[in-house]
Amino acid sequence: MLKDKIQNIKAEIESLKAQSVDDAEALRIKYLSKKGLVTALFDEFKTVPADLKREIGQNLNELKNLAQSRIAELKERAAQNVKVETVATDLTRPAVNTPLGSRHPISIVKNQIVDIFSRLGFSVAEGPEVEDDWHVFTALNFPPEHPARDMQDTFFINTNPDILLRTHTSSVQVRVMERQRPPIRSIFPGRVFRNEAISARAHCIFHQVEGLYIAHNVSFADLKQCLTYFAKEMFGPEVKVRLRPSYFPFTEPSAEMDVSCTLCGGAGCGVCKGSGWLEILGCGMVDPNVLQNNNIDPNEYSGFAFGMGVERIAMLRFGVNDIRHFFENDVRFLRQFQSA
């Protein structure tokens, strides 16, 4: 019966859904096009007996109107949804900033040290952190009974007392001398390890930058000039320097270099313990025994060497009063330093 078909299609139309404008258009074709389901009912209408024509004709027209308005509404809503979606992915909106990390203060200071010595023609080399006795002690003229060779000061590998964690970057001097002939003009940044109780002033792991210059006629005046240049570049042109006699097995003569206190300018304060001076490095003329151990003729060549603690210099530069801050990796501490 046509009347039933009208009812069925009406129910169908009332529950139509469309995700997109294209879906809605497909529905329009399905129901309202020339070959559509609603249109087909109009064809059938011709066969309806005359006495029912009025009623069924009215039903049919209502169905057609319903289909038209319903499908038009679905089309419009789908179009609006597309618009809302476009707003949700607004391509002109500024991107969320990617948080950038900052360089570790030890890296900043290490890079500055490397920079300063590069300007004087020093190249950069590195050596292993796990070393043997020869490179850390013996080749550097340490006597067999030297206290640094003691378990108390040095981390040895349990199964082999010849293998240890380097206690200073001076071991890289030996590594470089055994593979390179003079002239040598290099610095060696790296990590070192000492069996020390951790406190505000000492850590069992820290960083050094070593320097080695070997050529003809290198004198103590060259050492002093080079390290004075370094101190003024690192701490500012007004800084004063002094060299105090000291002792290292691998240099002769040996010295320690002080700079005028970066906090009080030399007047005396808590940081320099009233002396006005702060020690920043050890240095000296390379001991002839060390040259000989590495097959460099001490009658032909001479040289100087120096070694500085990076943490120590960073503490003075940035006013950090506890070395442990450098190893705790608290981002509130690490974020404060300007990259370089």
Contact residues toward ligand PHE (CB under 6 A) are 168, 170, 210, 248, 251, 282-284, 305-307
Closer residue to ligand PHE in complex, CB, 189/282: 282
d(CA 284, CA 226): 12
Closer residue to ligand PHE in complex, CB, 80/225: 225
Nearest Cα residue to 302 out of 223, 186, 235: 223
As measured in angstroms, the least distance from the Cβ of 186 to ligand PHE is: 13
What's 167's DSSP letter? S
- Asked if residue 140 lies in contact with residue 148, where contact means CB atoms within 8 angstroms, the answer is no
Is 218 buried (19+), middle (13-18) or exposed (0-12) by CB count in 10 A?
buried
d(CA 209, CA 109): 10
As measured in angstroms, the least distance from the Cβ of 146 to ligand PHE is: 13
Which residue lies nearest ligand PHE, judged by its C-beta? 307
Token pair of 333 as six digits: 């501490």
Closer residue to ligand PHE in complex, CB, 25/178: 178
Closer residue to ligand PHE in complex, CB, 136/261: 136
d(CA 81, CA 20): 8
Closer residue to ligand PHE in complex, CB, 230/248: 248
As measured in angstroms, the least distance from the Cβ of 312 to ligand PHE is: 11
Token pair of 303 as six digits: 């040289």
Token pair of 207 as six digits: 């960083």
Token pair of 336 as six digits: 């404060």
As measured in angstroms, the least distance from the Cβ of 192 to ligand PHE is: 7
As measured in angstroms, the least distance from the Cβ of 308 to ligand PHE is: 8
Closer residue to ligand PHE in complex, CB, 209/320: 209
Residues 6+ apart with CB under 8 A from 221: none
Residues 6+ apart with CB under 8 A from 262: 235, 239, 271, 278, 316, 317
**Which stretches does DSSP call E strand in the chain?**
123-124, 130-132, 156-157, 160-165, 184-193, 205-215, 241-248, 251-260, 277-286, 302-309
As measured in angstroms, the least distance from the Cβ of 288 to ligand PHE is: 14
End-to-end Cα spacing for the chain: 88
As measured in angstroms, the least distance from the Cβ of 91 to ligand PHE is: 58
Closer residue to ligand PHE in complex, CB, 63/323: 323
As measured in angstroms, the least distance from the Cβ of 207 to ligand PHE is: 11
Closer residue to ligand PHE in complex, CB, 25/129: 129
